[in-house]
Copies of this chain bind each other. A is one copy, B any other.
């Protein structure tokens, strides 16, 4: 079975041991296809990892196994888990990375099954207390890819750690959301979904001391340097500077409130 195994980490550009995860997977599952999903999650930024998995995993084939190593608690008492979340699988720390993948599966009435990784016979023989990605998650994903059933890898749990994902609030004049993520280009992504706002009429977007009147569909509708609001590729309201850096321009950061006024 040619299962796809993806790698998502916060190892960044300077660290070099991302390839070793592929080696461990392929030793156990020679037919697996290993894909780098991203190694650019902010260091220890579990929310950012959860948002990325939510945004990207729906585009992968059924049966794909996603290893995620954003793991500030590695080597402490935090649990490690493997999970079937609808049509795909997850292996990683039990720190909330699965929050949005799990919610998506549940809202589609798909199966969610989570096991705590407590069977060392599926790990490497030696486990470094600071690199469970290589020594626990990758071998467990390799076994899954090679056909070992999920339930064999550990005991079922029903209390995974989940992040509190801030929800947009209704206001008299529209909605109040917040900036969830600032990407490398300084684009400000919010928790305000297109599904929530679409059809609501003309919108004004307020963030920090700035107000943007109306949305554009795509960057090409603004001139270079324009501050614009648009729906990003995951359908979330986003504030951007065309060919520029919105975070720097308006000095905004994750957590800042974003007001939408419906006219």
Contacts and interface: CB of A to CB of B under 8 A. Distances in A.
A257 interface: no
A185 B10 CA distance: 11
A221 B78 CA distance: 12
Each complex incorporates copies of this chain amounting to 3
A70 to B, nearest CB: 12
Contact of A185 (B15, B23, B75, B218): B15
Range for the number of chain A residues in contact with chain B: 35 or more
A40 B12 CA distance: 10
B23 A75 contact: no
A251 interface: no
Given A16-B52, A220-B73, A23 B184 contact: no
Contacts of A38: 16-19
Contacts of A183: 14-15
Contacts of A33: 26
A52 B76 CA distance: 26
Contacts of A221: 75-76
Contact of A233 (B18, B60, B131): B131
Contacts of A116: none
A27 B184 contact: no
A59 B134 contact: yes
Contact of A19 (B12, B35, B75, B217): B35
A44 interface: yes
Given A26-B61, A130-B233, A230-B130, A36 B15 contact: no
Interface of A: 2, 4, 6, 8, 12-20, 22-24, 26-27, 30, 33-38, 40-41, 43-44, 52, 55-57, 59-61, 64, 72-76, 78, 128-131, 134, 183-185, 217-221, 230-233, 235, 243
